Amino acid sequence: MLVTRQPVLRRFWYATVPVGQLQDGPRPFTLLNEKIVLFLDADGRPAALADRCCHRTAQLSKGCTAEGLLVCGYHGWAYNRTGHCVRIPQADAQAMPAGAWVPAYRCEAHHGYAWVALEDPLLPLPDIPEAQDPRFRCIHQFYEVWQCASLRFLENAFDNAHFSFVHQRTFGQGDQPTPSKYALWPRPFNIGLSSVHCCLIENKTQLAGGDKDVVGHRICPFRQGAPHLCHGPGRVRAPAGRRSD
Residues forming the site for ligand FES (CB under 6 A): 53, 55-56, 58, 72, 74-77
74 vs 136 by CB, closer to ligand FES = 74
* Distance, first Cα to last Cα, the chain: 48
CA distance 5 to 207: 45
CA distance 117 to 34: 11
136-to-80, 133, 171, 234, 235 alpha-carbon distances in Å? 37, 6, 20, 9, 9
53 vs 238 by CB, closer to ligand FES = 53
CB of 74 to ligand FES, least distance (A): 4
62 vs 242 by CB, closer to ligand FES = 62
CA distance 49 to 69: 11
CB of 116 to ligand FES, least distance (A): 22
CB of 206 to ligand FES, least distance (A): 54
What SS3 state is found at 11?
Answer: helix
34 Cα distance to chain centroid = 16
CB 109 within 8 A of CB 45: yes
Question: In residues, how long is the chain?
Answer: 245
52 vs 110 by CB, closer to ligand FES = 52
CB of 55 to ligand FES, least distance (A): 3
CB of 54 to ligand FES, least distance (A): 8
77 vs 115 by CB, closer to ligand FES = 77
